[in-house]
Amino acid sequence: MSWSVSACGPAAKAAEQLEQQFLKINCADPGEQETVKGTRAVVAQTLATIDPDKVVNVTASGSMGYADWGTKEKPYQNVDLKIAPIHFSV
């Protein structure tokens, strides 16, 4: 399965949007669900350290697969997370 969330805007609003998106993710695999929970916690903690009015761009995604899909042996996961403040210059 794969999942993704994203938001761009003031850190406080982005955190709210992402929380709603994370709540909608329902992975069948317990390990993948734990990965989503961990990613959700990292995103929330990180955004809490940023000025609530600072504009940020956040993307997080993940997928799960098996080295052998027939036997579902050797599961693996991939997670990509980016939290970047947006700097404006005039």
Tell me: the pLDDT tens digits for 46-82? 999 999 999 999 999 999 988 887 888 888 999 999 9
Residue 90 falls inside a structural domain: no
Residue 74 falls inside a structural domain: yes
**Domain tally, the chain:** 1
Residue 44 falls inside a structural domain: yes
Is 14 exposed, middle or buried (CB count within 10 Å of its CB: 0-12, 13-18, 19+)? buried
**Mean pLDDT over the full length of the chain:** 94
Give me the helices (H) in 1-90, please.
Answer: 11-24, 30-48
Residue 35 falls inside a structural domain: yes
Residue 14 falls inside a structural domain: yes
Residue 61 falls inside a structural domain: yes
pTM: 0.89
Range of the domain at 23: 2-85
